[in-house]
């Protein structure tokens, strides 16, 4: 088990998919990830590494795009290309970039006005996680073409949950430990995370073991 503190402490799949190296861009509205995610990635790079770094990322992975329409879907290939280029420009591993982006995503969505939804989903980290699918249903009212992941949970013991991460976007799984870390900070709750299985390594889906500091009452 590892205390969830930084990217280096989390066992996750980190090899970049070769197909990410080629980005065949389509138009807005073709389906895929919403611009909110792409806008967050841009802000993450700018705020963490500087605007010059983002310009280098964008000039080849998102040419001609000055800003992202947060309410419109973009092709998945665009997001994949930006992440791949960010790793190259920043000189960081895929794991490090995705962990940092995952942690940033929690703060970013809060700042974008989704904080009240966080509060509705649960008063504790455990309750919030157990209500993730319900939260995505609520978010889907604003994003009708949203294709969110699904999170299923098994109780291992009073302190431990096994989280099943179900998604067609299996290559984004290294972002999950960062999101969990961001949530642990938001809820001021320590969390130990171990990734047991990974879809990118042949498993049916990714599974994470989550250990909380105290047993559930």
- List the domains of the chain with CATH numbers: 7-211 (3.90.1520.10)
What is the CA 69 to chain-centroid distance, rounded?
19
Residue closest to 77 by CA, chosen among 96, 62, 91: 62
State the pLDDT at residue 12: 34
Distance from C-alpha of 108 to C-alpha of 94, rounded to nearest angstrom? 20
Would you say 79 and 38 are in contact if contact means Cβ atoms under 8 Å apart?
Answer: yes
Would you say 185 and 177 are in contact if contact means Cβ atoms under 8 Å apart?
Answer: no
pLDDT at 16 over 80: no
Mean pLDDT score, 189-197: 95
Mean pLDDT score, 172-179: 92
pLDDT grade, residue 19 (50/70/90)?
Answer: very low
pLDDT grade, residue 217 (50/70/90)?
Answer: low
Distance from C-alpha of 133 to C-alpha of 53, rounded to nearest angstrom? 35
Average pLDDT of the chain is 82
pLDDT grade, residue 4 (50/70/90)?
Answer: very low
State the pLDDT at residue 25: 35
Mean pLDDT score, 168-183: 91
pLDDT at 53 over 80: yes
Reported pTM: 0.81
Residue closest to 144 by CA, chosen among 67, 25, 26, 31: 31
- pLDDT one-digit tens code per residue, 36-49: 999 999 999 999 99
DSSP 8-state secondary structure symbol assigned to residue 3: B
Mean pLDDT score, 207-211: 97
Residues whose CB is less than 8 angstroms from the CB of residue 145 and which lie 6 or more positions away in sequence, other chains included: 31, 34, 73
State the pLDDT at residue 168: 85
Query: What crossing angle do the helices spanning 76-90 and 35-49 adopt, rounded to 10°?
Result: 10
SS (H, E, C) 152-198: EEEEEECCEEEEEEECCCHHHCCHHHHHHHHHHHHCCCCCEEEEEEC
State the pLDDT at residue 140: 66
Residues whose CB is less than 8 angstroms from the CB of residue 75 and which lie 6 or more positions away in sequence, other chains included: 24, 25, 26, 30, 31, 32
């Amino acid at each position: 088990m590892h205390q969830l503190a930084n990217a280096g402490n989390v066992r996750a799949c980190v090899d970049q998919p070769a197909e990410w190296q080629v980005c065949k861009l389509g138009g807005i509205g073709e389906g895929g990830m919403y611009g909110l995610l792409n806008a967050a990635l841009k802000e993450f790079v700018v705020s963490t590494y500087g605007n010059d770094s983002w310009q280098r990322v964008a000039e080849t992975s998102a040419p001609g795009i000055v800003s992202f329409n947060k309410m419109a879907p973009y092709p998945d290939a665009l997001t994949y290309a930006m992440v791949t280029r960010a790793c190259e420009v920043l000189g960081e591993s895929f794991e490090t970039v995705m962990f940092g982006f995952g942690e940033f995503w929690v703060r970013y969505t809060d700042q974008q006005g989704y904080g009240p939804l966080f509060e509705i989903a649960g008063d504790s980290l455990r309750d919030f996680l157990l209500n993730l699918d319900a939260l995505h249903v609520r978010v889907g009212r604003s994003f009708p073409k949203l294709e969110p992941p699904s999170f299923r949970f098994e109780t291992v013991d009073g302190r431990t949950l096994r989280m099943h991460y179900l998604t067609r976007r299996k290559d984004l799984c290294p972002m999950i430990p960062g999101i969990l870390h961001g949530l642990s900070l938001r809820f001021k709750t320590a969390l130990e995370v171990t990734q047991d299985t990974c879809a990118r390594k042949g498993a049916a889906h990714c599974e994470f073991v989550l250990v909380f500091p105290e047993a559930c009452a």
